[in-house]
Amino acid sequence: MMRGNNFVLILLFFFRMQVREAQNTDVKVGIVTDVGRENSDITLLCISMSLSDFYSSHPETRTRLITTIVDSKNDVVLSAAAALDLITNKEVKAILGPWTWMQAQFMIEMGQKSQVPTVSHSATSPFLASIRSQYFFGATYDDSSQVHAIKAIIELFMWREVAPAYVDNTFGEGILPSLTNALQEINVRIPYRTVIYPNATDDEISVELLRMMNLPTRVFVVHIAKLLGSRFFAKAKEIGMMKQGYVWILTNSIADDLSIMNETEIETMEGVLGVKTYFPRSEELETFKSRWKKRFPNSDLSVYGLCAYDATTALALAIEEAGTSNLTFVKTDAMRDMSELQGLGVSQYGPKLVQALSRVRFKALAGDFQFINGQLHPSVFEIVNVDGRGGRTIGFWKKEHGLLKNLEQKPATTTTSSTWQDRLRPIIWPGDTMSVPKGWEIPTNGKRLRIGVPTNNGFKQFVKATRDPITNSTIFSGFCIDYFEAVIQAMSYDVSYDFIPFEDVNYDTAIYQVYLGLEYDAMVADTTMSANRSMYVDFSLPYTPSGIGVVVPVEESVKRSSIIFLTPLTLELWVISLLSFFIIGLVVWVLEHRVNPDFDGSVKYQISTIFWFSFSIIAFAPRERVLSFWARLVVIIWYFLVLVLTQSYTASLSSLLTSQQLDSTITSMNSLLAKGEPVGYQLSSFLLGRCWESGFSDANLVTYGSAENCDDLLSKGPQKGGISAAFMEVPYVKLFLGQYCNKYKMVETPFKFNGLGFVFPIGSPLVADVSRAILQVQESNKVTQLKNAWFKKIDESCPDPFTNPDPHSSVSFRQLGIDSLWVLFLAAAIVCAIALGNFVFRFLKENPNQRNLRELWERFLQPDRNSYINERLPLRFTRVNGINKAGKKITLMGQDGVNWMVLLTNENERGRMRLGRGWKGFCEAHGVKIGDSFVLELMREKDSSHVLKFCTKLNCV
């Protein structure tokens, strides 16, 4: 690398180039640099080569840049003085440089006042953009432009905590606001910051590194300069912070210089990731690199040199566009009497040059060059992984698509569900491992996690502590213990831990011990999550729901009696149902008795038929046939109503006979407070505070230690020194009610909580990973296995009152009233009314001459021989019971079991069809020739008044 002693050679190089170009209009340009600073010589050479290349490729230009180099000696005051001299005495039209943000800040103010633009190729602090001066142009990328690439890396590997390490000056602090905002967008926490003084000794660096080592975070973003960075990583490797588990991400302040570092420096950084300024491959860039190696074989080309080359080209293009007019400075008479700083002249060339610079656009070595609001805005960064040969490219970051393995990768393949291997090439992490670090580590110096477990839990199904008589150690078991072990197994890395008993302390005290962090690193128990507790510790996601329930004794409220079968229906419904049975039977009789022999007969027989027909449908279909259309319609509606009524009655009666009606005089916590009843709460829980807050006095509060103790107190009641109700957390309520079936019930849950969770110190990185593992366990069948292992025996003896209610437990009962069935009763009444109206109308129409009510009544009781039903009445006989040849009568047994007398007449008698010859043979053979038709008069054997006349084919079976 060239050093400051070559500065004279550089000046000679500039002088010779400018003498050769003296025939054009000269435009003075100042260069403020820190001679001797690393990369300063390289940038000066690149500026010289840029001017030479530009004018050799543009011989027609009318302007030539005449450069004046000033050494600011790495001092803010001297750089300001140099700029003042360049503007006042040299009357330069633009300034290239300076190196640092502090130097540039003063120069920007002077440039704004004198209208002399400053083009910086090395000052990268984002603070410069906040000055918002139209006379400042940043020809390099400011540090904030790379934070989105850093954010993408952190988001890809799902690290939740990041600690920045930066140099204590404006350069280091400049990136922090942008980095903090970017990490907040992805919910990444910054637990602390490490500040390194620019002139820090190795011991001071070691102290800061040891502090970082003793904190959990293992992901670090390093933003310091190359020289300090080399010492920083040398000490980090020395104290053991370059081993497996650590993640180091470099900004481009170091990553851009990896190519010029020696092997020793590279070795201390192996496994580190870096965000590097990306220069797209081009023929111009490769040609320039080749020329550089030939001319300066002992110097390595740097990013600053390339930026200086492009900045010089941009300035030359802008000056050529601005022209050669108004190349003067103007000073008023008042300015001449002022000090040199106050009396700065005003460049008349500045406004034109600013406009020209804003319009400059060309293909530069670094890609497309264009100022947007005075700044360059990169769209691509290169991601490197440091190995023994330097920085190995593992991917790229593009503004539009995020991380990519290569720039040709299609954006469609970079979905949110893709893994990091889809986005980046293989990475070798610190410690020469391919395993992705989890990003944090409990700083126990090799010790196992100390997990506290309370030993005085009242419900042993959750946490049970037993003493091993041989080893005298405590063995823990229970649902909470097994659940925690399942969660640890579901995590993507191993966690070593030991269970340590909390001896004779309540849960609040145990939580405070975790908060202190002296003896315990976590707590595993049936710990309820609350806002007050969260002020001292962090909770994982709940692994089971929780809350506080009020448990009270119950007794059977419905007494058994001999007339319990009347209870399902209200008295109103009973009366209406009985009336409906009679009315429906009467309506069917009215519609059927004149046309249906099943509804004919003596008065006693007909009355019994009315009741028999309507009531028998409750159990079975009646034997009486229904022949008329309107009667059938009435019966269909009635059948449906009776079906609904009987089914509802059966269901209600079954509930009464098989279920217990349990009730309690206590319905809520307010009723307990109003009556001043004594209540119980579990020992060593936080319920005491809740009871105080609710208004219970100490005199009414009784502790219980176990389910058996609680049952004893509730059984005694307040009269015998017991309690009226017990406050109990919901998970315990399930166990308690399951253990004592139908003896108690929960009447209210006055307090709601998020659930039971595992306890960790505030800020513990285990919380997020344990919570994710809890979700994995909950989505698997592991939870069911754990519940079966610890609660199945209780569920079998008495079902879970929440998830599997006992069929004999308390149920509510409601009598069935007319309000539930009034629509069906109304429909039946309407159909009956229409059917009766139709019958009366037809009856009066058929008997117009019957004006006497007595005659109408007698006619009403007589069969309707002209009915369409009688004309089509199908009869089927089963056997012949008797034959009277002389009287031409045959006695047949009908299918309905009634004896019918058949009169055989010929066609000549009253116009009826003649039987023809052979009737005697028919009678003797008890059969008839198929196809012969007869006019038959059928009547009951003992009741000749009822005669049916029809024509049919006689089939004797």
Two tokens at 913?
């069809």
CA dist., res. 12 & res. 439, Å (int):
54
Q: Please tell me which residue, 743 or 833, carries the higher pLDDT value.
A: 833
DSSP 265: H
244 contacts 431 by C-beta, under 8 angstroms: yes
pLDDT band at residue 232 using 50, 70 and 90 as cut-offs: very high
Given a cut of 90, whether residue 482 has pLDDT beyond it is: yes
Helix axes 479-490, 782-797, angle to 10 degrees: 160
- d(CA 413, CA 151) in angstroms, rounded, equals 20
Between CA 173 and CA 710 the distance in angstroms is 62
- Per DSSP, 647 falls in state H
Specify the DSSP class assigned to residue 198: T
Pair 692, 633: CB distance under 8 Å? no
Rounded alpha-carbon distances, angstroms, from residue 854 to 599, 601, 845, 847, 861 = 21, 19, 17, 13, 11
Other beta carbons within 10 angstroms of residue 577's beta carbon come to: 17
Strands of 13-168 (E only): list them: 25-33, 63-71, 94-96, 118-120, 136-138, 163-167
818 within 8 A of 576, measured Cβ to Cβ: yes
Q: Amino acid identity, residue 72?
A: S
Give the pLDDT confidence score for residue 892 in this predicted structure. Answer: 54
- Helix segments in 256-362, DSSP class H: 263-267, 283-295, 303-322, 333-336, 350-359
| pLDDT for res 930 | 33
Task: Report pLDDT for 910.
Answer: 37
Confidence tier at 248 by pLDDT (50, 70, 90): very high
Tell me, letter by letter, the H, E, C secondary structure of 486-540: HHHHHCCCCCCEEEEEECCCCHHHHHHHHHHCCCCCEEEEEEECCCCHHHCEEEC
Positive/negative CA dihedral, 574, 576, 580, 582: positive
Give yes or no for a cis peptide into 622 (omega within 30° of 0).
no
**Range among 17-31, 100-114, 313-327 with highest mean pLDDT value:** 313-327
Q: Distance between CA 728 and CA 711 in Å, rounded?
A: 12
pLDDT over 70 percentage in the chain: 77
Taken in order 611, 612, 613, 615, the sign of the CA dihedral is: positive
What is the overall mean pLDDT for the chain?
78
Lowest mean pLDDT among 231-240, 339-348, 399-408, 824-833: 339-348
The segment with the largest mean pLDDT, out of 414-428, 500-514, 624-638, 676-690, is 500-514
- Is pLDDT larger for residue 489 or for residue 950? 489
Q: What is the 3-state secondary structure (H, E, C) of 104-132?
A: HHHHHHHHHHHCCCEEECCCCCCHHHHHC
CA separation for the pair 852, 837 (Å, rounded): 20
**Residue 164 above 90 pLDDT?**
yes
The answer to whether 119 touches 137, Cβ cutoff 8 Å, is: yes
Q: Is the pLDDT of residue 446 over 60?
A: no
User: Quick one: which of 533, 527, 548, 549 has its CA closest to 756?
Assistant: 527
Considering only CA atoms, which of 215, 269, 224, 272 is closest in space to residue 248?
272
Q: Which of 162-166, 385-389, 516-520, 558-562 bottoms out in mean pLDDT, i.e. has the lowest?
A: 558-562
603-631 confidence digits (pLDDT tens): 777 777 777 777 776 666 666 677 777 87
- Evaluate if residue 726 carries a pLDDT over 60: yes
* Cβ proximity of 33 and 71 under 8 Å: yes
Under the banding of pLDDT at 50, 70 and 90, the label for residue 257 is confident
**Run of H or E residues at 194:** strand 194-196
Cβ-contact 685, 459 below 8 angstroms = no
Contact 362, 344 (CB under 8 A): no
Res 447: pLDDT? 66
User: Residue 648: in which H helix or E strand, if any?
Assistant: helix 629-658
Nearest to 462 by CA among 437, 481, 436, 475: 481
* Per-residue model confidence (pLDDT) at position 676: 81
Of 157-166, 315-324, 684-693, 869-878, least confident by mean pLDDT is: 869-878
* Cα dist from 57 to 43, 283, 359, 555, whole Å: 21, 16, 20, 105
What mean pLDDT comes out for the span 129-148?
85
Name the residue with higher pLDDT: 666 or 78. Answer: 78
pTM for the model stands at: 0.60
What would the DSSP string read from start to end of 713-760?
HHHH-GGGT--SEEEEEHHHHHHHHHHSTTTEEEEEEEEEEEEEEEEE
Q: How far is CA 619 from CA 614, 639, 647, 855, 856, in A?
A: 11, 11, 12, 39, 37
Of 428 and 143, more confident: 428
3-class secondary structure, 597: helix
Higher pLDDT, 863 or 69: 69
91-116 in b/e burial notation, b at 16+ Cβ within 10 A?
A: bbbbbbbbbbbbbbbbbbbbbbebbb
With vertex at residue 209, the alpha carbon angle to CA 206 and CA 213, rounded to the nearest 5 degrees, is 135
State the greatest distance between any 2 C-alpha atoms of the chain, in Å, as a whole number.
167
**Quick one: how far is CA 460 from the chain centroid?**
33
Q: Which of 380-384, 735-739, 784-788 has the lowest mean pLDDT?
A: 735-739
Per-residue pLDDT at 242: 92
CA distance 769 to 527: 19
Read off the tokens for 683.
């020992």
How is the chain split among helix, strand and coil, in percent rounded to 5? 40, 20, 35
Q: What is the pLDDT of residues 203-213, one digit of tens each?
A: 999 999 999 99
Per-residue confidence (pLDDT) for residue 493, from 0 to 100: 76
Instruction: Take residue 933 and report the two structure tokens written for it.
Output: 């038709």
* Residues in contact with 98: Cβ distance below 8 Å, sequence separation at least 6, in sequence order: 32, 33, 34, 72, 79, 83, 104, 107, 120, 122, 123
Least confident of 17-21, 501-505, 922-926: 922-926
- Compute the distance between CA of residue 362 and CA of residue 376 in angstroms, rounded to an integer: 13
pLDDT digits 0-9 by tens, 908-926: 333 333 333 334 444 444 3
- Is pLDDT at 699 greater than 60 in this prediction? yes
**Alpha helix (H) residue ranges in 593-628:** 603-616
The arithmetic mean of pLDDT across residues 406-423, rounded, is 69
Q: Spell out the domains of the chain, with CATH numbers in brackets.
A: 4-142+284-370 (3.40.50.2300), 145-281+380-423 (3.40.50.2300), 453-557+661-816 (3.40.190.10), 567-660+825-859 (no CATH), 874-953 (no CATH)
Helix (H, G, I), strand (E, B) or coil at 329: strand
Beta-sheet strands, E only, within 811-929 = 877-884, 889-894, 899-904
Q: Is the pLDDT of residue 293 over 70?
A: yes
Are residues 900 and 938 in contact, defined by beta-carbon separation less than 8 angstroms?
Answer: yes
In this model, does residue 530 exceed pLDDT 60?
A: yes
| pLDDT, position 876 | 42
pLDDT of residue 23: 58
State pLDDT tens for residues 705-722.
Answer: 788 888 888 888 888 888
Mean predicted confidence (pLDDT) in 520-533: 88
Contact by Cβ (8 Å): 225, 261: no
H helix and E strand count, the chain: 32, 35
pLDDT of residue 353 exceeding 90? yes
* C-beta separation of 159 from 247 below 8 A: yes
Separation between Cα atoms, residue 693 and residue 787, nearest integer Å = 34
Start-end of H helices in 89-225: 101-114, 127-131, 147-156, 170-173, 176-185, 202-213
φ and ψ of 110, to 5 deg? -70, -40
pLDDT at 471: 80
* Partners of 891 in beta bridges: 882, 901
Give the tokens for residue 282: 């081009």
The pLDDT value given to residue 722: 86
For 354-389, how does the pLDDT look when each residue is reduced to its tens digit (9 = 90+)? 999 999 999 998 888 999 888 888 889 999 999 888
pLDDT tens-place string over residues 64-117: 999 999 888 888 888 888 888 888 888 899 999 887 777 888 888 888 888 999
Would the pLDDT of 483 be above 90?
yes
pLDDT of residue 665: 60
